[in-house]
Structure formats: structure tokens, C-alpha cells
């Protein structure tokens, strides 16, 4: 049982992620490693919807796609019907000419 608790805490801490929007670009932090992208290094932002089950139109998260890099899954955090982080990110991407689906 102790092993299971330690494993669960380690797995949770290992996958810790954060996302930051700045005037000059986007920063993704994962496992104590940060990667910064200027707006011109971002190819697009696309929605990722549920593919199976009853509600196939349910939006699960967004994928931020860097040019020549792996997509970054950005989870939705809905508060009072809005996700203020995604609103800010989409506004900055649109302002900098990055396609938003």
C-alpha cells in the first residue's frame, strides 16, 4: 500500500505542467523543463474533441502546434462558462496571425 501511494504521488509530480502567455509568445513548462515559443513559431491552435461515446462533439482540450514540434495539449478550465486562459491565448494568437480553429 505504501508503494502505491508513493508511486501515485511520484506520477502526479512527474507530469506537472503549466502554460503561460506573454506578449512575445507562449511558454510550456513540464517536469521542471520550460520551452518558449515566439508567436511566429506556432503553426496553429486546434480543438480536440471526444471521438467515442455518446457526446462526440464534447471538447476535451486544445492542441497548440509548434512549427516542427510536437503538439501541446492545453486542458480547458471552465469557470462560470468561460476559460479565461484560452480566451487570452486565442486573442494573442489571432493578434499575431496564427490560425485558430
Q: What is the pLDDT of residues 11-55, one digit of tens each?
A: 555 568 899 999 999 999 988 899 999 999 999 999 987 666 666
pLDDT attached to residue 36? 94
Please state which of the four CATH numbers 2.30.29, 3.30.70, 2.60.40, 3.30.750 is assigned to the domain occupying 2-95: 2.30.29
pLDDT attached to residue 14? 55
- Residue 24 half-sphere exposure, CB side, CA atoms within 13 Å? 2
Q: Does residue 6 surpass a pLDDT of 60? A: no
**Which has the higher per-residue pLDDT, 8 or 24?**
24
Spatial strand order of the sheet with 59-66 comes to: 42-49, 59-66, 72-75
Tell me the residue ranges of DSSP E strands in 23-80. 25-30, 33-38, 42-49, 59-66, 72-75
* Maximum alpha-carbon separation in the chain: 52
Query: What is the pTM for the complete model shown?
Result: 0.76
Amino acid at each position: 500500500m505504501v508503494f502505491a501511494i508513493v508511486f501515485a504521488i511520484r506520477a502526479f509530480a512527474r507530469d506537472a505542467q503549466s502554460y503561460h502567455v506573454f506578449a512575445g509568445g507562449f511558454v510550456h513548462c513540464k517536469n521542471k523543463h520550460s520551452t518558449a515559443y515566439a508567436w511566429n513559431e506556432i503553426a496553429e491552435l486546434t480543438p480536440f474533441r471526444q471521438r467515442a461515446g455518446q457526446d462526440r462533439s464534447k471538447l476535451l482540450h486544445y492542441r497548440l502546434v509548434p512549427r516542427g514540434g510536437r503538439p501541446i495539449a492545453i486542458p480547458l478550465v471552465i469557470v462560470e462558462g468561460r476559460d479565461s486562459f484560452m480566451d487570452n491565448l486565442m486573442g494573442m494568437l489571432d493578434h499575431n496571425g496564427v490560425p485558430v480553429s
